[in-house]
Structure 1
Amino acid sequence: MTAPEILPLVFVMIAGPQILSPIFLATTENWRRNSAAYVAGAAFSITLVVTVAYAFGGGTVGSGGSNTTLNVIVLVALVLAMVNTYLTRHESEPPKWMGKLGTATPRFSFRLGFLLLGFFPTNILTSVAVGTYLAANDAPWTDALPFISLTLLVLALPALILVAFGERAETFLPKARDWMDTNSWVVNEVVIVFFIGMALNNLLG
């Protein structure tokens, strides 16, 4: 797997509360620090999970384990992610912690970014998939940087849009939040199915 092939997984990483949270944070009184803290927490956790998965994958290959085993593990993880996304598609009530976003602090925002992007079920499976794929294909760890960087850029977009467009963004951001809240599971499923196809191609090829 090369870096361009893992970039579509960015959409899996950010769809759902992961992108809704920075939209909310961008409308708080202390939005600059809250948004920066959220992205920083996300950067730390995503990098941590990908690195651990890469180290584990590399160790498996180096000790004689096969790429097929790793591909099967990733495929199972992606199928579980797809099932989880489908089963939770009708959940209309937002998590209780989202009610705290209006009065969020940088500390809360950092913790939220760390937990959501690193340890949300779909996200941890995706980051593990990236790390193990790169290790299994003897790609350098640095090939994960475009995936990590693009994920962080998308998470920072609400704040960047606010900086660029000011008051107009204050009208646009709630509409974007509502659209993502309604359609996030569809986006997740499309991208996961795409990556499952890639995993099957690796196994069968």
Structure 2
Amino acid sequence: MALQVLPLAVTMVAGPQIMSAIILLTHRQVVRVSLAYLAGFALATVAKVALARRIAALLSGVLSLGDPADGGSAGAIIQYVLVGSLLVAVVRNYLGRATAEPPSWLATLLGAGLGRAFVTGALLVLLMPTDLIAMLTVGVNLAQHDSPPSAAIPFVLATVFLAALPLLGYLAFRRRVTAVMPRVRDWMGSHGRLINIMVCLLFIALILA
């Protein structure tokens, strides 16, 4: 796997994923529910990498994905199609910015148990469109380099580490983080569309680069 896909780990956690991790910092059982959330997040990330690699392998059996350096290869064209889908998402988020409301399920995380936190972490990886696109990009990259799923371990570790940053910050600077997190949570909740737009644009830049 090429190292240039590692920055895609940022898009795996930006948006509702990191917002959920931050909201859990205001939970009455911060460490326990955060670890459960991260466990679900990590397990789903590993499963989705393996699935993306399998899908890319099936595609490569039908058509040649080509050399990663070839901008006209089938693999590159697939990534350009993914960029197009992200551009559509950017436009939709921009047009709906005035009436945007934070997802109602985010507020329910404050009372979530360990099972709910685990499932939330897993579903955010499995169902988020940006995560799906990121995984397909990683899968195509693995297939183009004829690499096994284990070659994506650095990507998985980087993704889980970024998702764990709020908890690590809490453990290192508990008093400061406890004071500031409610304000950060409220800001992210009211600027969800802006965050989604920034994530999509970052993803587009990373793919095209």
- Common fold by TM > 0.5: yes
Change (3 A) 1:106 1:86: farther
- Within the candidate set 157, 177, 182, 1:174 is matched to 182
Q: CA RMSD for the aligned pairs?
A: 2.0
User: What is the letter of the counterpart of residue 28 of structure 2?
Assistant: E
Which stretch shifts more, 7-16 or 103-112? 7-16
Give the C-alpha shift of residue 178 in structure 1.
4.8
1:149 corresponds to 2:157: yes
Give the C-alpha shift of residue 120 in structure 1.
0.7
Q: Hey, what's the Cα distance between the residues in 1 that align with 2:179 and 2:126?
A: 30
The TM-score, its normalising length taken from structure 1, stands at 0.85
Show structure 2 runs of 5+ residues with no match: 66-72
Q: How does 1:1-205 map to 2 (within 5 A)?
A: 2=2, 4-61=3-60, 63=61, 65-67=63-65, 68-89=73-94, 90=97, 92-178=100-186, 180-181=188-189, 182=191, 183-198=194-209
Number of equivalenced pairs:
196
Q: Secondary structure at the match of 1:26?
A: helix
Change (3 A) 1:186 1:178: farther
Q: Is the 8 A contact 1:18 1:116 kept in 2?
A: yes
The TM-score, its normalising length taken from structure 2, stands at 0.84
Q: Is the 8 A contact 1:46 1:117 kept in 2?
A: yes
Give the C-alpha shift of residue 180 in structure 1.
4.5
Give the C-alpha shift of residue 175 in structure 1.
4.0
Q: Is the 8 A contact 2:89 2:200 kept in 1?
A: no
Give the C-alpha shift of residue 179 in structure 1.
5.3
Change (3 A) 1:179 1:10: farther
Show structure 1 runs of 5+ residues with no match: 199-205
Give the C-alpha shift of residue 56 in structure 1.
2.4
Q: Secondary structure at the match of 2:4?
A: helix
Superimposed CA distance per residue, residues 28-74 of structure 1 (whole angstroms, 9 cap, x where no aligned partner): 0111121111111111212112111112222433x362113333223
Q: Hey, what's the Cα distance between the residues in 2 that align with 1:143 and 1:172?
A: 38
